[in-house]
Amino acid sequence: MIRDIREAVEEYFKEEGITDLMDYGASGDEGLGDISEVVADCLVKVGYPVDYNYADDSMYGDGKYEIHIGYNNEDYCDTIKAWNGVDEVVEIIENILK
């Protein structure tokens, strides 16, 4: 069942007890969650399967990450920031599903 994107993302943030992504980082960063997992988990929560996900540090500064989400045989790439919250995750998911 396909769920409302905003509802699913807000529920995820509430379940995880987060308001932003400051406790997340690049894939493999010790002591931090994988920032791409948030987007991937929310996409799955909405009802769409994810083939893979990973995040790399962005060359544009601290707290910025380039995420890759494998969906529908496509590699979707976007930038996300540690201070982002529900609105930005919703926007990324909406862009993936366009």
pTM assigned to the model: 0.93
Q: Which of 74, 63, 62 is nearest to 98 (CA)?
A: 74
* All structural domains of the chain with their residue ranges: 5-96
Q: Are 92 and 80 in contact (CB under 8 A)?
A: yes
Residue range 37-90, pLDDT digits in tens: 999 999 999 999 999 999 999 988 889 999 999 999 999 999 999 999 999 999
